[in-house]
Every structure is written in C-alpha cells, then in structure tokens.
Amino acid sequence: MTDPGQPQIRIAGTAGHIDHGKSSLVRALTGQDPDRLKEEKERGITIDLGFASSTLPNDIILSWIDVPGHERFVGNMLAGAAGIDFVLLVVAANEGVMPQTVEHFHICRLLGIRHGMVVLTKCDLADELSLRLARAQIEALVSGSFLDGAPVREVSSHTGQGMAGLVAELANLAEAVPPRSHGALFRMPVDRAFTMKGFGTVVTGTVFDGAVRRDEELLLLPAGLPVRVRGIQRHGASQPDAQAGQRAAINLAGIEVDDVQRGDVLVRPGGYQATRRLDARVELVEDAPPLVTLSPVHLHVGTKECVGRIRFHDGLRVLLAGETGFARLHLDEDVVVLPGDRFILRRFSPLQTLGGGMVLDNQPPRLRRKQPIADRLRVLEQPSLTARVSIFAREQSAGLEAANLSPRVGAPVERILHAADEASLRRLGPKRTWLIGSSALEAIAERIQSALAAFHRDHPVLPGAPKDVVRGHAGADVPPMVADWVLAGDPRFRLERDLVRLASHEANLDAPEAAIARRMEQQFLDAGLHVPDVEEVLRQSGVDATRARTLLQLLIREGKLVKVGADLVFHKHVLGNVVRMLAQRRGQRFGVADFKEWTGVSRKYAIPLLEFLDRQRITRRDGDVRLIL
C-alpha cells in the first residue's frame, strides 16, 4: 500500500548505445546535468551513473538514472538499471540500433522491467530514410518483448523537436506503472558513497523494499556494520523517510565512507543475511555462447558485481543460446538477495552479457549427488509467499522460528505467520511462532510414542519416564523446547512433573511385587528416624537389585517414602511427626545439638534432615543456628 500523503514517485532509466544522446535527453527533460564527473564532462560521455529529477504535468515526480552506454562501463549501467520502474531505450535516428543498444535492451528485459518506451534522438540529423530504417530495426529488436507495441517518440534534444509530446507520453507511462508496496522489510542497495562537509558519510541508492525513517538503526551488509540514519534526502530536500521505489540519499552515523562500497546493502536488522550460494532460473540471450556447467561467470545483482561459478541442476551439462534452466551459483563474495530478485550473468572473459535470471532460493539446502530439484524450484518460481514459507518450513525436520524465515523471504513475521496459516503449517510455542509441517510434527510424536511404549514394557511398575530421557528420543535435531511442546500438546502423552507417560499407561504391580513393596515400606515406617541402610533393604527384598530399586522408586514417586539425601530415605509419616514437633516451636531458634536432643538422632541423620527441612522452608539457617518458620 502507498501512503496517500506521499507524492507519487517513479524511477526512470535510460539505456542505449554510447553517444546516442541519453544524457542530453535527460538534461533537456530536467534542466539538470546528470554527468557529475569531470572526465565525463570533458569527454562528453557518461562513465558512471548520473542522476536528475523532474516533475511531470500530472505531478508525478520522476527520478532519472542515466547510465553509461560504452561497453567498458556496462557494469556501471547494470548498477543503475537495478530498481528502475520503466526504461527509455534511446536510439540515435542517424545511426540506428547498435551493439550496446541490443545489450542494454536484453539487460532491461532480463531484469524484469515491464514498462518503457523507445526514444529516437538526434532526429534533426537524420533524413526520412534513416528514420524509417531505425524504426524497422527497433521493431525487429523489441518484437515479442515488453517494448513490443510501446510508443516510439522522435525528438531532438538540441532543437526541442518532439519534447512536448515526449513529456506527455512520459506522464501517461508513469501513470500506468503501479506503485511499489511498502509492506516488506527495508532494503536499499548502495550505488554511491561519499562524504559531505558537516554531515559525514552519505550513501545513495534506490529503496528496493520497505521504508526507513530518520534516527532508525540499520545494518550495512555484508560486513554487518551497525549504523544510524542521521538524515534522509530525496531530490535534494530533507525528508523524514524514504520508501520503496524512491531514490534516497541517507546520511549515516557510526561509519566511515571508506567502509562503504557500491554493492553493499542497507537493511533492517534481522530481516536479511548475506549468502554465497543461491538457486536460480537462468536464461541465455539469443546470441550467447554455450554456457557449460562449472563455468566462471560475472554476477550482477542489485548494485553488486562479483565472480562465481554456475552449476546446472538435474544433470544439465550445458545451456544453449535462448534456453532456460535451473542452476546453483557458488559465489566468491557475499551478496544480499531475496527470492524474486533479478540478476545478469556476463562471461568471465572476454566480458559479454550471457543472460540473466531470477533468484529462487538464497539459502538453498545442500544436495545429495544426483538429487532432483527441478520440481521444488518450479514452485519457488511462483510469486507466492505462502508457497515459499511452506517449502522452507516443511524442509526443516524440527520446524523453525518464523523470524528465521525473514532473511529467506524478506517479509516481516506477521506476514510470514499469515502465510503459514494459509499453508496449513502447525504453529507451536507460547507465542505460536514456531512453524512445522504436520508430517514432521507427527514423526516427532511417533518417535516419542515408540520410546515410551518400550519404556513401559521394560518398567511396567514405574509411572513414567524422566522427561530429559524422553526428549532425547524426539530426534537428534529436535530442540528440547520443541519436544516439550509436543509432550504438552499431544493427547497421547501425559506430563506429570518431570515424568512422561503414555496416556494409556497405568503402573500396575502384581500381587508378589505389591507384597514386597509393602514390606519395604513397613521397614522404613518401623525404623522411625533411625532408618535402615537403603542397600540393605534392597538386598532383603527377595528380588534382584534392579527390580527392588524400581519398587523403591515407585514408593518414592507415590510419596510414601521421601528421599532426603543420596542414600537416606524416610517414611513420610515419620517426617510428618518431625514437622509437627517443630510447628509447636514456631519462631524458636535452635542449634544442631537441640535438634539431636528433640529427635534422638545422631549427627549422621541430623545434618541431612536439617538441610532437607531448610529446602522445604520449614526451617531457615542463620549462621550456626536455625529459625523455625
């Protein structure tokens, strides 16, 4: 959604061969010189990106990006083409379509630009035959593309011929371009960084996603440097914010200009992360040489240029001109990309535009040898947040936190949770932000169920298994908290303090075992405070040590016996008598000797008993004495 209080802004870019009049055209439309470098002005050609702005008759503001046409500066052209809303393909009427015209056109098409027009410049220098020939060349070039049927305007920046009609056509074109959504997390690739006296470091770029306000804390990726927004300018004027689809100059605090370079990306913290591996759909242009798997390539994405190698999926060994295929790119440098981002591939040497494509996964899983992946990537190719959230969450055998998906899809948690509901994912945890597929959740529950069933078979008299032990059977990659959520939420399980059992399980003793347990209990009751040695009781039970200890643990779990120390067990009635005796002396201070006198026990029993009473908050130690609470 757009802010109704914001002016409508569109970003227009020029493209075309060197010396075909791109900069002169922008200068005539805006009254501003987009060439900012001394060398550019001296040589009369654009070397780096140029910027200007103008306001159309319908009050839409155009941010102009003038790109270089020389083949040596195609990398700069690509940095400028990223993020534009529509393009003016500029062709000199007296020269017609030239090599960089074709290359720039293919770059715009591969970058997913969907709106534009053709401008025939230098019409004052062309005769009628040249004009007809140029129009025929353009028609052949753009046939079947986004510029097929687009307006072709004949102008002269020198004489002003056709400029009024061009402005009117620009107004119509800008009106037809839909505004960008601001609902994503902020992201702005940097195309320029410089210092201004009294301000410090300033970076410029096109806001790809979301919005940013003055005084916000951001990150500069891939270095991960924290920065603060000191100020924002749009079209030379200070503004409180900048939104998707706008050109912005952002004054940053906390960073030196030498720490920033073209290709870095300003982002909202937690919303993005850098990667060196991505899956993509790749398309080669019609005149590209064959591209063999594992070939080195130059990747241009956003304002970033880096080198990497391409590996085709599903056994594809070579991609031919005009063909499309799925591939994985292994890069030598970090990039910040999202699914849906467009990129350009150029030959490693000699430099030549090979094609381009679209990012499908910025954190692709490692693949087993010959593992097919095309079906997965065909789903990710669709512009559906729900489909992407569904695939990425279901691929995790234990699920994941919704916030961890933000760097993979570029959406805030609220939108991810909505997409998760649409995808019928299960949501766990106190805030219901842990996402997991139903099959993965069932697999965890079945592993726990199987482990508990085995435990109950081996220990039928015990009420349940320790929770820590059960967690270990949930799966090696299952976090303890996820196991706990499954135990608490699945009706097949019962969680009682630190024990877990199957809901269908009841601890049962047969008659002989019940008789042994009663005898063991009676021994501790008869002994009073002079309790017998635990190991001796177990030996006298008449069953093997493991079975006897299980019966003892059952008596403790049922609360009939109370474990006071490592090897010190009392009957609950005996301890109850001690507590009642102390209650009659509430508020009194006493020492160990007093306690020994009251109870008739030796120090061997007195100290553990007193420490137990402290833990139960019946007494409180204060130095060498205790207070009865």
- Could you report the average pLDDT of every consecutive run of 10 residues in the chain (629 residues)? 64 86 88 53 44 86 70 50 83 93 89 92 93 96 94 93 94 88 84 87 90 95 95 88 89 94 93 94 94 95 93 93 96 95 90 91 85 88 93 95 93 95 96 96 96 88 87 93 94 88 79 85 92 89 83 85 89 94 93 93 91 93 91
Q: Are 148 and 52 in contact (CB under 8 A)?
A: no
How distant, in Å, are the alpha carbons of 78, 110, 182, 280, 493 from that of 284? Answer: 17, 9, 32, 13, 56
Check: pTM over 0.95? Answer yes or no.
Answer: no
d(CA 513, CA 106) in angstroms, rounded, equals 84
In a domain, 181, yes or no: no
Per-residue pLDDT at 526: 92
Same domain, 206 and 246: yes
Q: What is the DSSP letter of 209?
A: B
Is 163 a member of any domain? yes
Instruction: Provide the CATH number for the domain around residue 599.
Output: 1.10.10.10
Q: Among 272, 268, 276, 302, which residue's Cα sits nearest to residue 189?
A: 302
Q: Is residue 582 part of a domain?
A: yes
Q: What is the CATH number of the domain that holds 337?
A: 2.40.30.10
Output the six-digit token pair for 302: 């956003």
Distance CA 67, CA 101 (A): 12
**pLDDT for 297:** 96
Count of structural domains, the chain: 6
CA distance 307 to 227: 28
Structure confidence by residue, pLDDT tens digits, 219-249 = 999 999 999 999 999 877 899 999 888 888 9
249 and 137 within one domain: no
Domain co-membership, 279 together with 298: yes
Q: Say if 191 falls within a structural domain.
A: yes
Domain with 430 in it: 385-436
Strand 247-253, strand 291-292: pairing: unpaired
Is 289 part of any domain?
yes
Q: 309 is written with which tokens? A: 């190698």
Q: What pLDDT is attached to residue 76?
A: 54
Continuous H helices in 143-256: 163-176
Neighbours of 33 (CB within 10 A): 15
Same domain as 591, residue 445? no
Token pair 């026990």 is at which residue?
601
The pLDDT of residue 78 is 58
Q: One-letter amino acid identity for 203?
A: V
Pinpoint the alpha helices (H) of 44-98. 74-81
The answer to the question of residue 601 being in a domain is: yes
Among the three residues 147, 176, 205, which one is the final residue of a domain in this structure?
Answer: 176
Pair 400, 352 in one domain: no
Q: Which residues pair with 343 in a beta bridge?
A: 301, 357
CATH code for position 90:
3.40.50.300
Residue 201 lies in a domain: yes
**197 domain-assigned:** yes
Question: In the prediction, which pLDDT does 231 show?
Answer: 94
Between CA 153 and CA 118 the distance in angstroms is 6
CA distance 93 to 251: 42
Which tokens belong to 494? 């019962």
Which CATH number characterizes residue 412's domain?
1.10.10
C-alpha count within 13 angstroms, C-beta hemisphere, residue 156: 11
| Whole-angstrom distance, CA of residue 567 vs CA of residue 551 | 15
Q: Are residues 490 and 530 in the same domain?
A: no
Residues 523, 623 share a domain: yes
DSSP 582: H
- Residues 207, 325, single domain; the answer is no
Domain limit, last residue, from 267, 287, 306 = 267
Helix (H/G/I), strand (E/B), else coil: 498: coil
Radius of gyration of the chain (CA): 37
Condensed to tens digits (0 to 9), the pLDDT of residues 388-429 reads: 999 999 999 999 999 999 999 988 999 999 999 999 999 999
Does one domain contain both 483 and 524? Answer: no
Q: Do 443 and 431 share a structural domain?
A: no
Same domain flag for 145 and 18: yes
What pLDDT is attached to residue 47? 36
Residue 617 pLDDT: 93
CA distance 59 to 6: 12
What pLDDT does 364 receive?
A: 94
Q: What is the DSSP letter of 222?
A: T
Instruction: Please indicate, yes or no, whether residues 99 and 191 belong to a single structural domain of this protein.
Output: no
Query: Residue 580: what residue type?
Result: R
Question: How far is the C-alpha of 111 from the C-alpha of 116, rounded, in Å?
Answer: 13
Question: Using CA of residue 401, residue 406, residue 412, residue 414, what is the dihedral sign?
Answer: negative
